[in-house]
């Protein structure tokens, strides 16, 4: 059973100075680069939103970033415009070593549907294709690192566990947004789902 490293959304917009910066987001890049050398299979995820995406507060007149709205697939936090396709903010952090990555999994490309998880859009049913790619390579164990612990990392870990992967999240190589206690909630949900928090 092959063990793969999934590096979640290490992009400029999620690092200090970016449109949706996670505090200390850039601090974990050297550790992630070092960890990549321990894995035969490395995949990177990349938030890749079209301009005017439905998860952007700017797409909802009268709404502000971090407010929540009801979408056809459930509650959606509204975000500042971020990781717009082809923009500097959507690019990987310049210090991230992308050479070892066998796959770059882009997500959040559907204009009306957000995607936190590396495996499914936020409707929990539209697959990204990552599961199939990992299964074809004989992967059964996953280690997740990146941004942000309480959103894209947690949703990816929960989906991976639900799909039957053995999942570890390296907390030292993640950073969180922690929006109204979202970090504690996400960690409790991951623990309950059988995800190892290392």
pLDDT digits (tens, 9 = 90+) for 135-170: 999 999 999 999 999 999 999 999 999 999 999 999
Share of the chain above pLDDT 90, in %: 98
State yes or no: pLDDT of 123 exceeds 90.
Answer: yes
Overall average pLDDT of the 113-127 stretch: 95
Query: Is 83 a known active-site residue?
Result: no
Token reading at 170: 């390296």
The secondary element (H helix, E strand) that includes residue 192 is: helix 182-192
pLDDT value at position 159? Answer: 98
pLDDT value at position 179? Answer: 86
Unique residue bearing structure tokens 């070593």: 97
CA nearest neighbour of 159 among 5, 151, 88, 105: 151
- For the chain, give percent helix, strand, coil, nearest 5: 25, 30, 45
Unique residue bearing structure tokens 């975000």: 79
**Contacts of residue 116, Cβ cutoff 8 Å, sequence gap at least 6:** 122, 151, 152, 154, 155, 156
**DSSP β-bridge partners for residue 132:** none
Residue 131 or residue 1, greater confidence = 131
State yes or no: pLDDT of 22 exceeds 80.
Answer: yes
pLDDT value at position 1? Answer: 72
**3-class secondary structure, 78:** coil
Query: From the candidates 9, 13, 47, 159, which is the catalytic residue?
Result: 9
Q: What is the pTM of this model?
A: 0.96
* Structure confidence by residue, pLDDT tens digits, 58-106: 999 999 999 999 999 999 999 999 999 999 999 999 999 999 999 999 9
Write down the mean pLDDT value for the chain: 97
Query: From the candidates 83, 152, 159, 174, which is the catalytic residue?
Result: 152
Sheet of 103-107: strands edge to edge?
103-107, 41-47, 2-8, 139-147, 166-175, 196-197
Query: From the candidates 26, 107, 159, 174, which is the catalytic residue?
Result: 107
Q: What is the DSSP string of 125-176?
A: -SB-SHHHHHHHTTEEEEEEEEE-IIIIIHHHHHHHHHTT-EEEEEEEEEE-
Query: Is 152 a known active-site residue?
Result: yes
Cα(173)–Cα(70) distance, rounded to whole angstroms? 32
* Structure confidence by residue, pLDDT tens digits, 173-182: 999 999 889 9
């Amino acid at each position: 059973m092959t063990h793969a490293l999934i590096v979640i959304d290490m992009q400029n917009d999620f690092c200090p100075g970016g449109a949706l910066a996670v505090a200390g987001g850039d601090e974990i890049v050297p550790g992630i680069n070092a960890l990549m050398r321990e894995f035969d299979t490395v995949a990177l995820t990349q938030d890749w939103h079209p301009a005017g995406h439905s998860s952007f507060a700017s797409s909802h007149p009268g709404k502000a970033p971090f407010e929540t709205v009801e979408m056809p697939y459930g509650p959606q936090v509204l975000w500042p415009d971020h990781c717009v396709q082809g923009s500097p903010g959507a690019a990987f952090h310049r210090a991230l070593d992308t050479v070892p990555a066998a796959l770059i999994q882009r997500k959040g490309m559907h204009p009306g549907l957000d995607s936190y998880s590396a495996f499914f859009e936020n409707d929990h049913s539209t697959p990204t294709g990552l599961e199939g790619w990992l299964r074809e390579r004989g992967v059964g164990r996953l280690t997740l690192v990146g941004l942000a612990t309480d959103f894209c990392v947690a949703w990816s870990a929960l989906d991976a566990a639900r799909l039957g992967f053995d999942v570890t999240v390296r907390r030292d190589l993640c950073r969180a947004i922690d929006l109204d206690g979202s970090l504690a909630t996400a960690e409790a949900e991951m623990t309950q789902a059988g995800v190892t928090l290392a």
